Amino acid sequence: MTSLGFPLISIALLLPLVGALVLLFVPKQQTSRIRMLAFSFGMATLMVALLIAAYFNTAAAGFQLVDTFDWIPGLGLRYTVSVDGVSLWFFVLAALLTPIAQLASWSLVEHDVRAFQALLLVLSTAVLGTFVAQDMVLFYIFFELTLVPTALLIGRWGGANRTKAASQFFLYNFGASLFMLVAIIALYFANRDASGVATADIGTLLTNIQDGTLALDPALERLIFGGFFLAFAVKLPLWPFHTWLPLSHAESTDDGSIDLIGLLQKTAGYGMIRFCVQLLPAAAAWAAPAIGVLAVISILYGALVAYGQNDIKRVLAFSTLSHMGFAVLGIFALNELGISGAIMMMIASGIATGALFLASGMIVARRGTRDIRELGGIWQPMPILGGLVLTAIFGSIGLPGLIGFAGEFTVMQGAWSSATLGPGFLLVAVFGVILAAGYLLTMYQRAFMGELKPLNAELPDLAGREIALLGLLVLLIVGLGIVPNALFGPMQATLQQIAASAAQLALR
Partner 1 sequence: MVPTWIVLLIPAFPLFGFLLNTFLIRREREAGWLASAMVLLSFVATIMSMVALAGQPEGARINLTVFEWFTIGSFRVPFGVLFDQLTAVMALLVTGVGALIHVYSIGYMHGDKRAVRFFAYLNLFVFMMLVLVMANTMLLLFLGWEGVGLASFLLIGFWFERKSVEPGIVPAAAAVKAFVTNRVGDAGVILAMLLIFATFGTLSFYGAEGQVPGFLEQAPNLAFESINLGALGTITVLGAIGLLLFVGVTGKSAQVPLFTWLPDAMAGPTPVSALIHAATMVTSGVYLMARNRVLFENIGSGDSWIPGLIVAIGLITAIIGATAAVTQWDIKRVLAYSTVSQLGYMVVAVGMGATTAAMFHLLTHGIFKALLFLAAGSIIHATNDTQDMRHMGGLRKRMPITFWAFALGGAALAGIVPLAGFWSKDEIIAAAWFGYAGAQGNPLLAVMLIATSLLTAFYVGRQLALIFWGEQRDHTYHAHESGRSMTTPLIILAVLTVAGGTINLPGSHFLDSYLEPVFGTAVEEFTLGKGILAAVVTLLAGGALYAGWWVYARAWATRVRLAKPDPLYHYTGAIWEGAETAWGFDWLYDAAIGRPYKHVAAWTSSVFDQQGIQGILVEGTGNVIGWLSAGFRRIQTGYIRNYVLVFFGGVIVLLGYFVLS
Q: Rounded to whole angstroms, how far apart are CA atoms 158 and 154?
A: 5
Q: Rounded to whole angstroms, how far apart are CA atoms 86 and 280?
A: 16
Please report whether residue 466 would count as binding partner 1 according to CB under 8 A: no
**Among the listed residues 73, 212, 400, 479, the single contact to partner 1 using CB under 8 A:** 400
Strand partners, 80: 68
Query: Smallest distance, Å, CB 46 to partner 1?
Result: 26
Stretch that binds partner 1, among 124-132, 262-270, 351-359, 396-404 (CB under 8 A): 396-404
**Among the listed residues 451, 458, 460, 464, the single contact to partner 1 using CB under 8 A:** 451
Which lies closer to partner 1 via its Cβ, residue 305 or residue 356?
Answer: 305
Alpha carbons within 13 angstroms on the beta-carbon side of residue 472 total: 15
Q: In terms of Cα–Cα distance, which of 404, 411, 263, 383 is closest to 327?
A: 411
Please report whether residue 135 would count as binding partner 1 according to CB under 8 A: no
Measured in whole angstroms, how far is the alpha carbon of residue 227 from the centre of its chain?
A: 20
Which lies closer to partner 1 via its Cβ, residue 218 or residue 423?
Answer: 423
**Among the listed residues 221, 251, 259, 336, the single contact to partner 1 using CB under 8 A:** 336
Stretch that binds partner 1, among 31-39, 82-90, 352-360, 438-446 (CB under 8 A): 438-446
Rg of the chain in Å (alpha carbons):
22
Give the C-alpha distances (Å, rounded to integers) separating 287 from 204, 280, 290. 25, 11, 6
138-157 binders of partner 1 (CB under 8 A): 140-141, 144-145, 147-148, 151-152, 155
Which lies closer to partner 1 via its Cβ, residue 280 or residue 339?
Answer: 339
Fill in the amino acid letter for 169: F
Q: In terms of Cα–Cα distance, which of 344, 352, 349 is closest to 406?
A: 344
Which lies closer to partner 1 via its Cβ, residue 279 or residue 388?
Answer: 388
**Among the listed residues 108, 452, 459, 467, the single contact to partner 1 using CB under 8 A:** 452
Which lies closer to partner 1 via its Cβ, residue 134 or residue 340?
Answer: 340
Please report whether residue 419 would count as binding partner 1 according to CB under 8 A: no
Query: Smallest distance, Å, CB 417 to partner 1?
Result: 5
Please report whether residue 75 would count as binding partner 1 according to CB under 8 A: yes
Instruction: Centre a 10 Å sphere on the Cβ of residue 507 and count the other Cβ atoms it contains.
Output: 10
Instruction: Centre a 10 Å sphere on the Cβ of residue 357 and count the other Cβ atoms it contains.
Output: 28
Please report whether residue 496 would count as binding partner 1 according to CB under 8 A: yes
Please report whether residue 485 would count as binding partner 1 according to CB under 8 A: yes
By CB under 8 A, the count of residues binding partner 1 is 78
Stretch that binds partner 1, among 19-27, 51-59, 174-182, 289-297 (CB under 8 A): 174-182
Q: Rounded to whole angstroms, how far apart are CA atoms 341 and 229?
A: 20
Residue 133, SS3?
A: strand
Instruction: Centre a 10 Å sphere on the Cβ of residue 12 and count the other Cβ atoms it contains.
Output: 28
Which lies closer to partner 1 via its Cβ, residue 286 or residue 431?
Answer: 431
Which lies closer to partner 1 via its Cβ, residue 235 or residue 242?
Answer: 242
Please report whether residue 161 would count as binding partner 1 according to CB under 8 A: no
Query: Smallest distance, Å, CB 411 to partner 1?
Result: 11
Please report whether residue 163 would count as binding partner 1 according to CB under 8 A: yes
The DSSP code for 273 is: I
Which lies closer to partner 1 via its Cβ, residue 223 or residue 449?
Answer: 449
The DSSP code for 484 is: T
CB 391 within 8 A of CB 477: yes
Strand partners, 81: 67, 133
Stretch that binds partner 1, among 28-36, 107-115, 297-305, 325-333 (CB under 8 A): 297-305
CB 183 within 8 A of CB 136: no
Stretch that binds partner 1, among 13-21, 57-65, 84-92, 429-437 (CB under 8 A): 429-437
The DSSP code for 371 is: B
221-280 binders of partner 1 (CB under 8 A): 240, 242-243
Q: Rounded to whole angstroms, how far apart are CA atoms 439 and 447?
A: 12
The DSSP code for 215 is: -
Please report whether residue 77 would count as binding partner 1 according to CB under 8 A: yes
